[in-house]
Structure 1
Amino acid sequence: MKLKKHLFIPFLLLAFFQFTISFSQELKPASLFSDGMVLQRDIPVPVWGTAKPNSKITVTFANQKQKTKADNNGKWMLKLDPLKASKIARDLVISGDSKVIISNILVGEVWICSGQSNMQFNVNNVPEIKSLIPFTKNIRTFQVKNIVSLEEQDDVTGTWKVTNPSSAVAFGFAYFLESIGDVPVGIILSSWGSSSLEAWMPRSMTEELPYFKTIMDDFDKDTATQNRLLEAINSPKGWNIKEDIFMRRQPNVVYNAMMKPLAPYACRGLVWYQGERNTRYISGVPEVTEANWFHKVAGMKEYGDILKLWIQNYRKTWQNDNMHFAVVMLPGYGKGTHASPNIDSKSPTAESWAWMRESQLKVLDLPNTSVTNTIDLGSETNIHPTDKFPIGQRLALSAAKHTLNQNIVAEGPVLDQVEIENNSLIVHFKNSKGLKTNNRKAPEGFWIADESLNWKIADAKIEGETVILENKDVKNPEFIRYAFAGKPDVNLVNGANLPAYPFRTDVDVK
């Protein structure tokens, strides 16, 4: 077949251009693979990057030598066999048409720490955690640059550093996990303040969630927003705070740039401290205006079911069904929803964060999940409370139990069952050994009701490993709400001084 004369020259130029790109494509690992990194122990470890198309690649590490071949586009990936933990720094060598040596590598526990502002909250704002820095051992950090993308990216901007994470929660978690497990810890920190769950969702979730498809369809039609994002990303001077807020509050684009490129880096799990952005509404996705454009996110009651699908999607992306997801429960806070911002923070019926906490606990329906209880923490008026120290401790305890298989108490009392006896309700708990209050007073935070759901504060007392509830004005008590309020007063703990989880028993009542 002969090319027409006017097509011949462009064809030659295109062919020459492609040949030049192919010929000059140097051997390069993904940016996650850099000096000072931590590799995950005990599971296969993917290593990937780019090279000259169809070139042979060899990776050598810890007495292993694995080989593969770059594809026609120059992309390659192979897997190292499971590695044993090691505090001894070693080199990883990647060989092809050239050689890349990555040095000072440890092997241990790798966790992604993600979410919004309370995950981003700086260690310098928490003196108790900052004081741990001089005692840090074998902790490495990869901090992902905050940026967005309209398309899923293959690489991220960042390097491993032999230092603690800037995040107070991530550092506290890493410090105590390293101490409990006696193993190196690598933290990949990818978080951005005021980002919604939807910001961290892949476009593929539109196939499962009609509401997200509507959001993304609207986003695709909104060329003004897309152009504004591109202008901010490509600005040689960077972007200002107004543009920063605009970028991180868009759907999907944070995932594209800050999460997708991390897969399938071998890790034990992901710590997720997010949800505040999704507390604006009890239920549903609101109609938005120019003034409240950033409200277009799912409400609290839907959040938990969406989060479960999100976790399952991430596990597929990482090709790891055992990837653990550690969710941080939202702590106490005294403000309500967009429709009802001024609430009684002790009320069990107010439009409070209680509904989000209940939703977050739905992830426990899935295996390899945990929810770190923070119901005794937080601030009445500050959405960024400074009491992050216990969160790091509790996350580490939970990880040690669920992922390091240590026989320890890592959670507080959890509702087991309720007995009705005359005009009293007897509450049985799991994890209740040593049940007590942390101030030697009667248990607080319990409300009871009969079938009318007219809630009354319960008179509560501990008997053994149960709590007995009653109220003289409730003759036939049926239902309980415990710590189900914005900023409840709570004092019930087990022998490990871990707080009881909030709950309500009227879930199925219409």
Structure 2
Amino acid sequence: MKKYLFLLLVSLITSTAFAKISLPSIFSDNMVLQQNSNVSIWGKAKANVKVTIHTSWNSQKYIAMSGSDGSWKLSVVSTKAGGPYQITINDGEELVLNNVLLGEVWLCSGQSNMEMPVKGFRNQPALNSADILLDADNPQIRLIRYEKTLSRTPQYDCKSTSWQVSDAESAKEFSAVGYQFAQQLQRKLKVPVGIIMSTWGGTKIEGWIAGNSAVADTAKITKNDPSVLFNAMINPFLGYGIKGVLWYQGEANRSNYNQYDQLMEAMVKGWRKAWNIGEWPFYYVQIAPFKYDSTKQSAFLREAQLKASTQIPNSGMVVSIDVGTENFIHPPDKTTISKRLVYWAMANAYGRKGLAFASPVYKSHKISKNVVTISFSHTENGLSSFGNSLSAFEIAGEDKVFHPATAKITGAGVVLQSEKVKTPVAVRYAFKDWVVGDLFNNEGLPVSPFRTDSW
């Protein structure tokens, strides 16, 4: 009799565990779904029952069967941007998601320079904060921000703010880079924009790469263990329809800069494979200059980031060498960074013609006696210092000692020489921890730091 009662109790618990539809936090009122695509919706319900979804934008009905654990997943068709709409989900009991928009969805992720909120960190301001928040009331922008958490195994859900309609209260806590990207993108496209924020300051890229953690389960978990951030803060919304990803990270990987391009390539490849919706755009920020410890590790890290741009398909890198701050690792000017990300998105993801979006990159050099001539890509309309002297170039001879070089712009190139180097063999530009980039293309995009040597 006791055994029968126990089995009956287990059966009742199993059958009522998901008496109502439950959804991961990425699905809520106020959310934005990627327009003109097939978007996945998933959740849990009663076990082994029919789950019906009705989407009001096209009056379509979709049916899935829940598994023995109540899990279900299906794909629905989204149409052109618009709303608000409703999504009704029913497994015998009805759940309705209200105020749903169709539009453009982006994810912003990385460490503290992406995490830095519109309101700024304590005693570390974000430029234009008051103006951004004054202009934050926009029902066409929706925000969701995930809490920091770790896991050695992929998680079904993660605590979040749920989707919020943009206003000063919700925007002030959101990524200054991510929010301004959404704000500017919405103005240009004139469609709803949703942006997902999943960030953690001081984290290495290894924690964000998909794959099982190699650390024993009994060991104390840290935020820089392999995959623990992906498992806890990306996997919960993996497969949610997105247009692309914004990434700002790298400071924490200065000590293993020689691996960073391969690590970034692996991260993006793993995310895209797991998302299974194609090679979405991946736009990222080269870390800004800062007075670290004079080891030049950050210069080598920037070099690795530049290298990654040639290795990752459908990617684009924003250069920030002109907007750093010597004594703050979190530069206040996130407005310029977000604009440069928008340039990439508008020109590439959205195909707008005539826009400058890519920074000039070193292409080649020629040496004639004591003069070096440098050529760059992305300088169709020439180069400019905007009236300032060029002070970030250095030249070295066979002794490998670099000396400041005088530099002069000639068309799409720069001519260099130094009285202290009679026979130059190598050139570096802005290749230091702390430096202010002073060379741009005519449209105002800064030249990426580079070196011609491999010393």
TM-score w.r.t. structure 1 length? 0.80
> Is 2:295 aligned against 1:300?
no
- One-letter amino acid of the structure 2 residue matched with residue 446 of structure 1: F
Deviation at 1:441, TM superposition (A): 2.9
Describe the shift of the 1:439–1:409 C-alpha distance in structure 2 as closer, same or farther (beyond 3 A): closer
> Is 2:335 aligned against 1:389?
yes
Could you tell me which of 406, 425, 436 is aligned with 1:478?
Answer: 425
Describe the shift of the 1:465–1:70 C-alpha distance in structure 2 as closer, same or farther (beyond 3 A): same
**CA distance in 2: counterparts of 1:40 and 1:424, whole angstroms:** 53
Deviation at 1:150, TM superposition (A): 3.7
**CA distance in 1: counterparts of 2:163 and 2:77, whole angstroms:** 22
Deviation at 1:38, TM superposition (A): 0.7
Describe the shift of the 1:149–1:479 C-alpha distance in structure 2 as closer, same or farther (beyond 3 A): same
- Correspondence list, 1:440-455, <5 A: 440-455=387-402
Give per-residue Cα distances to partners, 1:107-126, cap 9 Å, x unaligned. 11111111122212121132
Could you tell me which of 62, 66, 82 is aligned with 2:62?
Answer: 66
**CA distance in 1: counterparts of 2:264 and 2:242, whole angstroms:** 20
Describe the shift of the 1:426–1:75 C-alpha distance in structure 2 as closer, same or farther (beyond 3 A): same
Identity of aligned residues (%): 32
Give per-residue Cα distances to partners, 1:125-161, cap 9 Å, x unaligned. 3251441233343111011122223432111222100
Could you tell me which of 302, 307, 312 is aligned with 1:357?
Answer: 302
Structure 2 residue matching 1:460: 3-state secondary structure: strand
> Is 2:69 aligned against 1:79?
no
* Equivalence for 1:33: 27
* Equivalence for 2:49: 55
- One-letter amino acid of the structure 1 residue matched with residue 146 of structure 2: V
**CA distance in 2: counterparts of 1:10 and 1:319, whole angstroms:** 46
8 A contact 1:443–1:462 mirrored in 2 = no
Could you tell me which of 233, 246, 269 is aligned with 1:258?
Answer: 233
* Equivalence for 1:171: 179
Deviation at 1:82, TM superposition (A): 4.5
Unpaired runs of 5+ residues, structure 2, are 121-125
Number of equivalenced pairs: 437
> Is 2:205 aligned against 1:197?
yes
**CA distance in 2: counterparts of 1:43 and 1:455, whole angstroms:** 54
8 A contact 2:198–2:234 mirrored in 1 = yes
- One-letter amino acid of the structure 1 residue matched with residue 406 of structure 2: D
Give per-residue Cα distances to partners, 1:402-421, cap 9 Å, x unaligned. 21111211122122222333
* Equivalence for 1:373: 319
> Is 2:367 aligned against 1:416?
no
- One-letter amino acid of the structure 1 residue matched with residue 442 of structure 2: G
**CA distance in 1: counterparts of 2:112 and 2:296, whole angstroms:** 22
**CA distance in 2: counterparts of 1:82 and 1:39, whole angstroms:** 7
Describe the shift of the 1:312–1:14 C-alpha distance in structure 2 as closer, same or farther (beyond 3 A): farther
Give the aligned CA root-mean-square deviation in angstroms. Answer: 2.2
Give per-residue Cα distances to partners, 1:201-227, cap 9 Å, x unaligned. 3333x6xxxxxxxxx33x4352xx25x
Could you tell me which of 272, 277, 297 is aligned with 1:320?
Answer: 277
> Is 2:267 aligned against 1:310?
yes
Deviation at 1:332, TM superposition (A): 0.9
Deviation at 1:360, TM superposition (A): 1.6
8 A contact 2:152–2:217 mirrored in 1 = no
As a proportion of its length, which structure holds more helix? 1
Structure 2 residue matching 1:353: 3-state secondary structure: helix
Structure 1 residue matching 2:119: 3-state secondary structure: helix
- Correspondence list, 1:281-300, <5 A: 281=255, 299-300=256-257
- One-letter amino acid of the structure 2 residue matched with residue 371 of structure 1: M
Describe the shift of the 1:21–1:429 C-alpha distance in structure 2 as closer, same or farther (beyond 3 A): same
- Structure 1 residue runs of 4+, over 4 Å off? 8-12
Deviation at 1:454, TM superposition (A): 2.5
**CA distance in 2: counterparts of 1:418 and 1:46, whole angstroms:** 50
8 A contact 1:333–1:382 mirrored in 2 = yes
TM-score w.r.t. structure 2 length? 0.90
Deviation at 1:37, TM superposition (A): 0.5
- One-letter amino acid of the structure 1 residue matched with residue 417 of structure 2: E
Deviation at 1:333, TM superposition (A): 0.5
Give per-residue Cα distances to partners, 1:169-214, cap 9 Å, x unaligned. 111111112122222211111112222222223333x6xxxxxxxx
8 A contact 1:308–1:362 mirrored in 2 = no
8 A contact 2:343–2:357 mirrored in 1 = yes
Deviation at 1:250, TM superposition (A): 4.5
Deviation at 1:21, TM superposition (A): 2.0
**CA distance in 2: counterparts of 1:398 and 1:130, whole angstroms:** 26
**CA distance in 2: counterparts of 1:127 and 1:478, whole angstroms:** 41
**CA distance in 1: counterparts of 2:312 and 2:177, whole angstroms:** 24
* Equivalence for 2:189: 181
Could you tell me which of 351, 354, 377 is aligned with 1:430?
Answer: 377
**CA distance in 2: counterparts of 1:130 and 1:167, whole angstroms:** 14
Structure 2 residue matching 1:29: 3-state secondary structure: coil
